[in-house]
Amino acid sequence: MATTAQLTLASGDIAGDPVNVTKQATLTKDKSVNDLDQSTGLSRVHLRSATNKVLLTANAEGNDLASKVYIINKSEDSSLYVTITINAQTIGKLYGGDFLFIPWSQTDTSAAIEVAATSWTSSTGDIPIEYVQFHEDTDFLTNA
């Protein structure tokens, strides 16, 4: 069964013109038409600190296999954001309800995706984050 991702962007008034774009992609292995068939499973953490916390680490082999990462800020408060970093480089902020879906090259074996509840205070409560990595793995080949 294929693993797919679909994104729809719709706005009636952005830049003065309506926008309506829908794209779908099948997640495939590196240099292949075979589907990605491994995942970390959907995980949830509750952030209570502006200190970076590791969500995902690169594979130990440092190979450049196919990998996609999904992270969502499940907070219902749009003012509560988290900062996403890869190898100490900030790649962006996710406000309540925002998500990201990115490819992740894991050639650096010390690479990590981290998240920090930058807007957190003791009065805001937890900021729930869900994440999953879809990937291929040479140790667990299930599709030639």
Residues of the chain with pLDDT under 70: 1, 62, 138-144
Q: Which of 133, 137, 109 is nearest to 34 (CA)?
A: 137
Total-model pTM: 0.86
44-76 pLDDT, tens digit each: 999 988 889 999 988 777 677 888 999 999 999
- What does the chain come to in residues? 144
